[in-house]
Structure 1
Amino acid sequence: MFWRTSSPLDADDEEWQLDCWGWLLKHFGGAAALRKRSLILPTRAFFTPSEERGHAAASHYFRQVAAYFDIDAARFNLVPQEDSIDPVFGPLQVLQNAPREPAGTFSVSLGGAMTITYNPAIVPKPMKLITTFAHEICHPLLLSVSEEPPGGSEMEEFATDLAATFFGFGIFNSNTAASFTQYRDTATGTQGWSFERQGYLSPAERAFALALFIQARGQGVQEAGEYLDSGPLAYFRKATKYLAQTPSISSDLLAAHQ
């Protein structure tokens, strides 16, 4: 008996994402432009490593990310945020609920000057840094569209998350959606694992977007599988199987935006 794979998303989330894909296709080149986009991989073929540290390294990666959007990096002021507060002051002193800086921010002045900030703590983590820059560069692109994304202005950040995958950064987007890291608390003498989430879309939503991007282009499934972490890979495989069993999802979407 043939068993159909259910969607990895609930009905409302899938409907919104497909509507948002349609919105992005409508305003950014349609199906023809989407098919020509590259699946950006975390390899030296796409990003040359930086031999410097700190802001120089961040600027090095920012220029490379901007180039994939065909945007001059010099149009932005790239600014490091202030260092986050270390919540551990000593063996018996821990600051509760210490504020944490976002991975990145985008702002534009009344005069039109655009500024992107980044958390210096993620500079040694190119995957997170590149994902952050891709997300923030998507902001001015989406703001250039007079029509609000599906769901209105309150869904702007979610649409920006999706846009990063739409422009080719789906592997980066999926691998940084959530992470577990080992930690040691010197104040209490305990150790364990901590959870961190970056961005707005869930891991399942990002994997669905990546699978749809690849199906629409007709290539890249094997490449994506090679570079996805184990958690995102499981979501991606389910989304890929679901879309393969329902090819009308991508075909109808592309047909409407030729």
Structure 2
Amino acid sequence: MFGLLDSRPLLEDTYADWMFAVFGWALRHFDPVMFREETVLVTPSNEHFPGRASSTGEMANLIFSQVVGFAGMQHWPVRLLPPGSCVLEPDSGVRVAGHLRGARASGPVEPGGSLTISYDPGYVNNPEAMIAVFSHTLAHYLGSTATEPPPGGTENWPQVTEILAVFLGFGLMFANTALMFPRGGCCGGPSVQRSAAVSQHDITYALAIFAALKGIPPRAVTPHLKKSLRGHFKQALREIDKRHSDRLQACTQLMRA
């Protein structure tokens, strides 16, 4: 009574199926070896974002280069433009020979044009939001190279690319900033604006899937997660173990490919 016996899952099975399917799609297309051996849980801390800057632009470029590095996309022609710059999508897609990401990538990616992003300088004072949107933009460019559409189709692209950014290791920043409102932007291109497509609780569930796949214990996650989501994260881990072990195992098999 009074909800004490409420056993409803955090996610309906169809939604959980979709979320695991996105992880499976990412593992098939974006290097399972990189995910297994190089991808880390990126934390909003000096451990992962060291360094100082003397200006807003210098700080934005420092954060951007670190995000690109953790995504394993240093060889991609991604470029951060000054605030207010007009950013347009390249006319043609990215062409990749060899590995897409990480230490095994052999050479530069050949795009139809530079892959660029601008930013709102106001986000320098909220680096977690800036990290989230930079990584979301990288996930957009990376996801565009897949040879099959994502689970649920491209009409769910904003949601797919947020889950893909969690797959890249940036789930903490997405969960911690999911309630922020959008800022700025011009010309229809990507700019730093944190308008979440996936709710804070659902993106925390995706973070739990990431942690379960990587074998990351809760004690390594919760100190960096905002307090209101820590219990939800732990509950999601338990639910994944009890209700979705088959889905987790299927993704684990893809990691060994």
TM-score range, shorter chain: 0.7 to 0.9
Q: Is the 8 A contact 2:84 2:118 kept in 1?
A: no
Give 2:198's match in structure 1, choosing from 186, 198, 201.
201
- Sort the Cα spacing of 1:6 and 1:251 in 2 relative to 1 into closer, same or farther, 3 A: farther
Q: Is the 8 A contact 1:207 1:235 kept in 2?
A: yes
Q: Is the 8 A contact 1:66 1:73 kept in 2?
A: no
1:1-258 matches, within 5 Å, as: 6-30=8-32, 32-36=33-37, 37-72=39-74, 75-82=77-84, 107-110=89-92, 111-179=112-180, 198-246=195-243, 247-256=245-254, 258=256
**TM-score of the superposition, structure 1-length normalised?**
0.76
Q: Distance in 1 between matches of 2:138 and 2:126?
A: 18
Q: Distance in 2 between matches of 1:133 and 1:115?
A: 10
Secondary structure of the 1:129 match is helix
- Sort the Cα spacing of 1:106 and 1:126 in 2 relative to 1 into closer, same or farther, 3 A: farther
Q: Which residue identity is paired with 2:12? A: D
Whichever of the two has the greater Rg, that structure is 1
Secondary structure of the 1:77 match is strand
**TM-score of the superposition, structure 2-length normalised?**
0.76
More strand by share: 1
Q: Share of identical aligned residues, percent? A: 26
- Sort the Cα spacing of 1:209 and 1:229 in 2 relative to 1 into closer, same or farther, 3 A: same
Q: Is the 8 A contact 1:5 1:242 kept in 2?
A: no
Q: Is the 8 A contact 1:62 1:73 kept in 2?
A: no
Secondary structure of the 1:123 match is helix
Q: Is the 8 A contact 2:25 2:150 kept in 1?
A: yes
Q: Which structure 1 residue ranges, 5 or more long, are not aligned? A: 84-104, 181-195
RMSD: 2.5
Aligned to 1:99: none
Displacement of 1:141 in angstroms is 0.8
Secondary structure of the 1:122 match is helix
Q: Which residue identity is paired with 2:164? A: A
Q: Distance in 1 between matches of 2:28 and 2:7?
A: 29
Q: Distance in 2 between matches of 1:239 and 1:163?
A: 18
Secondary structure of the 2:161 match is helix
Q: Which residue identity is paired with 1:50? A: R
Q: Distance in 1 between matches of 2:8 and 2:157?
A: 27
Displacement of 1:203 in angstroms is 1.2
